[in-house]
Amino acid sequence: MYAHRTIETITDLHIHIELPAEFANCQQAEIIVLPIDPAAARPSQSWQERVLAMAGTLSDDFPDDIDDSDLGQDVPRDSLE
């Protein structure tokens, strides 16, 4: 599945979206539109800048000691070690 996230300007209740090449063979797409706080919108940020801004933001309750017992049993998986 492909996903494309972008922040676009709404003009007269219309949005123009340029899709990446991965969508070339798709005939339909599900579109979800969410309002955002204008102060939070930074369309000039690159993907790498957004990732770096989020790096290290896991909350204190995120476990540091993940092992095989934390994995679901529904699908065979490789060991974490």
Sketch the domain layout of the chain as residue ranges: 1-56
Q: How far is CA 42 from CA 16, 37, 75, in A?
A: 17, 10, 39
pLDDT 10s digits, 29-59: 898 888 887 766 556 677 788 777 777 766 6
Listed ranges 3-17, 27-41, 56-70; the one with the highest mean pLDDT: 3-17
Q: Is the separation of the CB atoms in 18 and 29 below 8 Å?
A: no
This prediction's pTM: 0.41
